[in-house]
Structure 1
């Protein structure tokens, strides 16, 4: 199955309520000081990509909607970045897909790891689930799984 793009909407757009992987496109216009996972780490201005999985109730629709909401209590490391990106955030979803396979493909297309282990504390296979790809736009074919 192919990735489905959804715009930054609070309701999760047209995503299905099924398990799968998602990619958040998170442009930062200014540097961001992180409080976790490594206090004191800083993300420079640029385009960041976060790959995650949605396997719980509501699947992709619920997880992506939560990430794109502005009125959320921070729960995960990536919430720092989604809150800083605000309404410029976009998402792609891959029903039935693997976050690790997607991370590998995007990193292989030139993305780098800005903070080791960021977003991958429960993953033994990936160096991080947050990547940096400065020259990307939301419709960039390198972002497709």
Structure 2
């Protein structure tokens, strides 16, 4: 069952990305809403209190309470339903494979912005959010997290304050 935090839907994400000609996403709060199509996504999670979290081989991170955004893609056979559905499952025995798994194990899932597309938008979305973070003190990058398979500075972002 999805743990839902009572907070806003992070409407700044589609607004910021629309400026970069990235299509408008749709908001998902239940895994049953996920399409089996390929696509990209921004997983929205909430950390209730400051916490030290070990993130795989990257090491230990001191994270502040706030909203966290993980940018990913689902280009495999199961598409968004399989990949994002895995993130929606709050299973304490789930194997931790990706950086986001370590974050998800410690955070409450709020929902997910989803782009249904055969084109991988993951890095374009992360680059736009990086630019937004550079221009906005309310959003910051968590360096190297989630981007070990590309040249992006990060695929994880944090907002301590409302944007």
Provide the TM-score with structure 2 as the length reference: 0.72
Aligned to 1:29: 48
Runs of 4 or more consecutive aligned structure 1 residues displaced over 4 Å after TM superposition: none
Distance in structure 1 (CA, Å) of the matches to 2:50 and 2:111: 19
- Give the alignment partner of residue 60 of structure 1, picking from 70, 80, 85: 80
Alignment partner of 2:105 out of 51, 61, 83: 83
The offset of 1:49, in angstroms, is 0.5
- Which protein is richer in strand relative to its size? 2
Corresponding position: 1:95 with 2:116:
yes
Partner of 1:20: 39
What's the TM-score, normalizing by structure 1? 0.80
* Distance change >3 Å, CA 118–CA 41, structure 1 → 2: same
Partner SS state of residue 106, structure 2: helix
Structure 2 unpaired stretches of 5+: 1-22, 134-138
Gaps of 5+ in 1: 141-145
Residues 60-116 of structure 1, C-alpha deviations (whole Å, 9 max, x = no match): 111111011111222111112112123x431111111501111122233333112x2
For residue 119 of structure 1, give the secondary structure of its aligned residue in structure 2.
Answer: coil
Shift of 1:34: 2.4
Residue correspondences, number: 131
Q: Which moved more, 1:103-112 or 1:69-78?
A: 103-112
| 1:131 pairs with 2:154 | no
Q: Distance in 2 between matches of 1:93 and 1:118?
A: 20
Q: Give yes or no for the alignment of 1:49 onto 2:49.
A: no
CA-CA distance at 1:32 after TM superposition? 2.8
Query: How large is the Cα RMSD of the aligned pairs?
Result: 1.8
- 1:113 aligned to 127, 141, 145, which one? 141
